[in-house]
Amino acid sequence: MKRKRTRAAAAGILAAAALLPLGGCAKEEPEASGKNYIGVAYYNQSDTFLNELLDSFRSQLKDMQGGDMETVVMVRDAAGSQRTQDDQVKELISAGCDILCVNLVDRADPSEIIDLARENEVPIIFFNREPVAEDLMQWDGLYYVGAEAEQSGYMQGELAADLIETDSQVDRNRDGKIQYVVLEGEVGHQDAIIRTETVVEALTDRGIELEKLSYQIANWNRAQAENRMEQLIGQYGSQIELVLANNDDMALGALDAYKNMNYTEAAYPVVFGIDGTKAGLEAVMDSEIAGTVYNDKEGQAGAMARIALALLRGEGLEDVEFQSERCVYLPYEKVTKGNVSEYLMRSR
């Protein structure tokens, strides 16, 4: 890989950068050369799914790199600001990172980051928050690792349909329709928009009659979901028969609301999530969440590590299974109480 700056220059910048407060990452600052630096920039460090994905990335990278190579991972949290992330990417490139893994804050606004990476010839592996195809086409040093949002929503709908068809208790008021609410992720996030659409599509395809009571945006966040759910419960009370959450954290937030408002368990509606985070899987195990859809963080982290190492070594990229050009999409999987233990073991 050709680089415009020398290692020595990078080390100088690193020494200076090490003096700056960098949000808890200071101990990761490189001080010697001979190692390979991977910069990771992600949209928000309060995101449960991404924290679990990044833990898996670090450990798989270590397992895969072999004795001939040493990688150092430097992580930056954008705290929800694209401008902050642009600056962090600049800083990571100046610090001598050979590869970047970027989880965009605003997936529609990667142009500054792409320009910086291309000028400095630092490849980017985007992950989880998918840039639009035209942006990914801008340079052949750009990759994406994620999953197909359609599939996750559709599977969530199938899980809900399976339960509704077999358990007549779900339709509490016995009117032949399922009254439901949706807890949505972020506005503009591919996984939020598409999951909400396809979950309803799957239920309708199965001939289930639905009545949408309302929806609330809770930005993937458990506390926000709890708060929004309290509002929904205040408005609709026991009319709510089904809660469809775009992710597990929001499904758990919905349950928190019922607990807080002192509902008895028998009065809870059925709740479905997506992700299979540790807490989500445990809630499925405890029958608090009726089911979830596994967002394969180990598979995604593994693909990121494989691409990063291949780029660093300058070989092995042909072993990565790209579905479309430079993009890897890992399949989702349905999780119920019947198979949850398998997933609890997988996400060590």
Residues 6+ apart with CB under 8 A from 76: 22, 23, 25, 39, 40, 41, 42, 85, 88, 91, 92
Shortest Cβ distance from residue 119 to ligand BGC (Å)?
27
With respect to Ca ion, which residue has the nearer C-beta, 70 or 211?
211
With respect to ligand BGC, which residue has the nearer C-beta, 241 or 248?
248
Q: How many CB atoms lie within 10 A of CB 151?
A: 18
Shortest Cβ distance from residue 240 to ligand BGC (Å)?
22
Q: Which does 220 bind (CB under 5 to 8 A by kind): ligand BGC, Ca ion, none?
A: ligand BGC
With respect to ligand BGC, which residue has the nearer C-beta, 274 or 330?
274
With respect to ligand BGC, which residue has the nearer C-beta, 50 or 124?
50
Per CB under 6 A, which region of 18-26, 42-50, 61-69, 156-164 contacts ligand BGC?
A: 42-50
Q: How many CB atoms lie within 10 A of CB 109?
A: 15
Shortest Cβ distance from residue 51 to ligand BGC (Å)?
10
Shortest Cβ distance from residue 108 to ligand BGC (Å)?
14
Which of 10, 22, 49, 86 is close enough to bind ligand BGC by CB under 6 A?
Answer: 49
Residue with tokens 């019922």: 258
User: In sequence order, what DSSP letters do the residues of 307-332 get, joined into one string?
Assistant: HHHHHHHT--GGGS--SBTTEEEEPP
Question: Is residue 191 involved in binding ligand BGC (CB under 6 A)?
Answer: yes
Rounded to whole angstroms, the Cα distance separating 137 from 281 reads 37
Question: Is residue 329 involved in binding ligand BGC (CB under 6 A)?
Answer: no
Residues 6+ apart with CB under 8 A from 175: none
Give the DSSP H/E element, type plus range, for residue 302. Answer: helix 297-313
Question: Is residue 275 involved in binding ligand BGC (CB under 6 A)?
Answer: yes
Rounded to whole angstroms, the Cα distance separating 250 from 224 reads 8
Partners of residue 82 on adjacent β-strands: none
Residues between 62 and 121 with contacts to ligand BGC, criterion CB under 6 A:
none
Rounded to whole angstroms, the Cα distance separating 335 from 294 reads 6
Q: Which does 76 bind (CB under 5 to 8 A by kind): ligand BGC, Ca ion, none?
A: none
User: In sequence order, what DSSP letters do the residues of 248-288 get, joined into one string?
Assistant: HHHHHHHHHHHHHTT--GGGPPEEE-SB--HHHHHHHHTTS
Contact 223, 253 (CB under 8 A): yes
With respect to ligand BGC, which residue has the nearer C-beta, 96 or 253?
253
Rounded to whole angstroms, the Cα distance separating 286 from 291 reads 11
Residues between 120 and 139 with contacts to ligand BGC, criterion CB under 6 A:
128-129
With respect to ligand BGC, which residue has the nearer C-beta, 129 or 306?
129
Shortest Cβ distance from residue 297 to Ca ion (Å)?
35
Residue with tokens 């329709």: 177
String of contacts with ligand BGC for each residue 143-162, x by CB under 6 A: --------------------
Rounded to whole angstroms, the Cα distance separating 320 from 258 reads 45
With respect to ligand BGC, which residue has the nearer C-beta, 71 or 247?
247
Shortest Cβ distance from residue 238 to Ca ion (Å)?
11
Q: How many helices (H) and strands (E) are present in the chain, helices listed first?
A: 12, 12
| Residue numbers at the binding site for Ca ion (CB under 5 A) | 171, 173, 175, 177, 179
String of contacts with ligand BGC for each residue 202-241, x by CB under 6 A: ------------------x---------------------
Q: Which does 175 bind (CB under 5 to 8 A by kind): Ca ion, ligand BGC, none?
A: Ca ion
Using CB under 6 A as the criterion, which residues of the chain lie in contact with ligand BGC when the complex forms? 47, 49-50, 128-129, 189, 191, 220, 247, 274-275, 295
